[in-house]
Amino acid sequence: VLVDTLYRTRDNINLCKKLGIKLNGPKLGRKPNHVDPKQRKADVSAENRRGAIERKFAFLKGSLGLDLVNTRTAESLVVTVDSAIALANIDLLLKLFSVPISIVV
């Protein structure tokens, strides 16, 4: 699981270990002087993947108005988030297929 460093607490790490969930990311405490190159590469790769996910959420919040959600019930929140994700997918499809359409026209 990719988690933000904010959520990598001892309690969460122990809970995930107990449930058999592997957490990716930096270890707690001071950074060691010497890090295994394979482990460093794995940590950087995990942070890059997490960054891509965070960028997608930032796009949903900024461009599609997900930061303006002010709903009272869980059902309406689910509908709002689902519609924002559907709009994001439609936006991606339009970006992918608009170039071939403009070339044909």
Burial of 31 (C-beta count, 10 Å sphere; 0-12/13-18/19+): exposed
pTM summary value: 0.55
What pLDDT is stored for residue 20 in this prediction? 92
Q: Which residues pair with 2 in a beta bridge?
A: 24
> Distance (Å, rounded) from C-alpha 24 to C-alpha 6?
13
pLDDT digits (tens, 9 = 90+) for 66-95: 777 777 788 888 888 888 888 888 888 888
SS3 content of the chain, % helix, strand, coil (to 5): 70, 0, 30
What pLDDT is stored for residue 75 in this prediction? 85
Q: Which residues pair with 24 in a beta bridge?
A: 2
Question: What is the pLDDT of the chain when averaged over all its residues?
Answer: 81
40 within 8 A of 20, measured Cβ to Cβ:
no
